[in-house]
Every structure is written in C-alpha cells, then in structure tokens.
Amino acid sequence: MVARIRVRFAKRGRLRFLSHRDIARAFERGLRRARLPVALSAGFSPHPRLSWVGAAPTGAASEAEYVEIAFSAPVTPRWVHEALDAALPPGLDVVCCVEAQGRALPDRVDASRWQLRLPGVAPAELGVAVPALLARESLVVERATKDGKREVDVRGAVVWAVCRAENDTCAILDVVVRHTTPAVRPDDVLTALSAVAVLSVPVPPEPTRLEQGRLREDGTLADPLAPDRDEAARPAGRLEA
C-alpha cells in the first residue's frame, strides 16, 4: 500500500434503493473501469482494499457516505475524484477526496444529521410530536429483523430535533442521531414520534442523510475529512426551527 484516499460520496435518486453490498460492488467495478491502481488484499481471492464507514440504510438517500481506498501506486485526490466519479453510475456521485491522515476514519464519525421529508404530514402534528419525544428520558421501540425483534432506545440516541414546514401538507424533520448499537434509523425515529403523539404518516417518508461526523458539544458535527487541527473549528450545519 502506497497511498490512502478518503472519499465522500452521495447516494441520490433511485440509487437510494441500493443495498450496501450493491454499492460496494459498484465501487469495485468503478475502480476497475477507472483503471486506478487500487491495492488488493492478500489471500486466495484478493479484493480491493476498501474500508466503509456508517453505510446509510437501503431506501435512504445520502449526501455524506464515506469510504477509504488503499492504492498500490501514488495517486492524487483530484485524479481519484475525477476518474472514479466518471466511472460510477449517475446517482453515486463523488463529492470530495482527500489524502488519509491523522486519526482513523471510523474514529471521526459518531453521529449523523438526517432530514426527513414527510409528505401528507401536517407540520402542526409534527410540531406536537417532536417536543413530546424530546421531553422523554428514554423511549424504546421494537424493530423487526431477520433474527427477530430488537429493541432500540431512540430517545437515548437523538441529540436534537426540529421541525419545519415545506407547505401545509408536508413537514420536514431535521434530527441529529448518535451512532449506537443497534443503530437508530430514520424509521425508528418516526416510530418513536408516533408513540408519543398522534402522528399519521400516510406515504413513505423521504430520508436524506446530510452529514456524518464527530459530535461537538453544541450538537453540530465536525467534518471527518478535515485535518485533525481543523476538525473542532469547522462550522457545521445545525438547522433551527
């Protein structure tokens, strides 16, 4: 391994329905098409050395997905950005590339900022549900998984949440959620909101992850691609009601 590049990419449009495995395969094919000198793992069946961080759930769009790629020859962030973005399908879009340095990428990410667009939900209904959730010390919901039901404490993971109106029949929820085990997903937040107030969601919500990063004391997120010395000073985008 000669170089490591950290990549921020977006998952947009219809490609939000790709699973993480599908995205990993698309990146491996894209790296081959781009003819980038990606490093391979050792063993009988070598594969590209890609390290993923905090993949968004299937069905969620994202502006802040991250992967670190190891290369076997010198590369520049600009070269990787241009070549990989051209080789990936539209909807998987490279946003930024930087050289890996300082702390490991997983150590730079412990929370996400989500925006949930809720068509058919009156902003006034969401405006009642959000304070009711935040007033609780704990709120556990059940999630069905292939291994059975699992309990997650939604309130314990929610750092802050605010609501606003797109129009009279569409509410927007902005929420920062800590990365926990098991992870609290956008649909878990909606389940918790429905448990504390009358909240009907007549059509599927439209979740988009806007940021990932290290949670600051003020509830904003530090840019995981910033140098260590700049990480704490970088502004982040908390939205107010």
Query: Please, which residues bridge with residue 160 across strands?
Result: 176
Number of folded domains that form the chain: 2
Would residue 224 count as lying in a domain? yes
Residue type at 38? V
Which pLDDT belongs to residue 240?
A: 43
CATH number at residue 152: 3.30.70
Strands (E), the chain: 3-11, 50-53, 61-71, 92-99, 111-119, 140-145, 148-153, 158-167, 170-178, 206-215, 221-222
Kindly indicate the confidence band of residue 27, based on its pLDDT and cuts at 50, 70 and 90.
very high
Share of the chain above pLDDT 90, in %: 83
Tokens 């704990």 map to which residue?
138
- Give the residue ranges of DSSP H helices in 197-238: 228-231
Would residue 239 count as lying in a domain? no
Model confidence at 236: pLDDT above 60: no
Kindly indicate the confidence band of residue 119, based on its pLDDT and cuts at 50, 70 and 90.
very high
Residues 137 and 86 in one domain: no
Which pLDDT belongs to residue 239?
A: 44
Share of the chain above pLDDT 70, in %: 95
Closest to 118 in 3D by CA, of 186, 57, 198: 186
Model confidence at 46: pLDDT above 90: no
Model confidence at 238: pLDDT above 70: no
Which pLDDT belongs to residue 54?
A: 86
- Distances 85 to 7, 47, 137, 203, 208 between C-alpha atoms, Å: 11, 20, 44, 33, 20
Quote the CA–CA distance of 154 and 41 in Å, as a whole number: 38
Which pLDDT belongs to residue 65?
A: 98
Q: What is the pLDDT of residues 129-167, one digit of tens each?
A: 999 999 999 999 988 777 778 899 999 999 999 999 999
Model confidence at 3: pLDDT above 60: yes
Would residue 43 count as lying in a domain? yes
Would residue 238 count as lying in a domain? no
CATH number at residue 80: 3.30.70.580
Would residue 240 count as lying in a domain? no
Q: What is the pLDDT of residues 180-224, one digit of tens each?
A: 988 999 999 999 999 999 888 999 999 999 999 999 999 999 999
Structural domain containing residue 13: 3-100
